[in-house]
């Protein structure tokens, strides 16, 4: 099974900041990396698929990058609604595993 490790586990920032979080799979991935946002009390919401493709309706301040075993989610100009937990997920092979999440806090 592919293990997904996210860092940091939590991150403090302010509205308007630029933040970056990392996801490191235990095996090399090609384009098989997705990012989700989960607000309190809500289901995960797809932000980015295939490393860097923005899901329809997701603001352009979200950006994904990386390759192999090192992937990054960047959020530019943080908005109040961005404070949530962010998960990476590998879609290379079943079971399709998630990281433990990065909590973005004010």
Partner 1 sequence: QVQLQESGPGLVKPSETLSLTCSVSGDSMTGHFWIWLRQSPEKGLEWIGYVYNTWTTYYNPSLKSRVTISMETSNNHFSLSLNSVTAADTAVYFCARGINNGPYWYFDLWGRGTLVTVSS
State the residues that interact with partner 1 by CB under 8 A: 30-32, 34, 36, 42-46, 49-50, 53, 55, 87, 89, 91, 94-101
Kindly state the smallest distance separating residue 49's Cβ from partner 1, in Å: 4
Q: What is the DSSP string of 53-94?
A: EEPTT--TTEEEEEEBTEEEEEE-S--GGG-SEEEEEE-SSS
In the complex with partner 1, the residue whose CB is nearer, 64 or 75, is 64
Kindly state the smallest distance separating residue 23's Cβ from partner 1, in Å: 13
Residue 51 CA from chain centroid, whole number: 9
Task: Say how far apart CA 73 and CA 7 lie, in whole Å.
Answer: 11
In the complex with partner 1, the residue whose CB is nearer, 55 or 65, is 55
Kindly state the smallest distance separating residue 12's Cβ from partner 1, in Å: 21
In the complex with partner 1, the residue whose CB is nearer, 72 or 97, is 97
Question: Is-contact 35 22, C-beta < 8 A?
Answer: no
In the complex with partner 1, the residue whose CB is nearer, 22 or 91, is 91
Token pair belonging to 30: 């090609």
């Amino acid at each position: 099974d592919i293990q997904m490790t996210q860092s940091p586990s939590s991150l403090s920032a302010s509205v308007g900041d630029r933040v970056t979080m990392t996801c490191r799979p235990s095996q090399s991935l090609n384009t098989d990396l997705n990012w989700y946002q989960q607000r309190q009390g809500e289901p995960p919401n797809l932000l980015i698929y295939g490393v860097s493709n923005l899901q329809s309706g997701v603001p352009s301040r979200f950006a994904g990058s990386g390759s192999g075993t090192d992937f990054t989610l960047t959020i530019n100009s943080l908005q109040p609604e961005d404070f949530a937990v962010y998960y990476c997920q590998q879609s290379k092979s079943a079971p399709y595993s998630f990281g433990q999440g990065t909590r973005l806090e004010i």
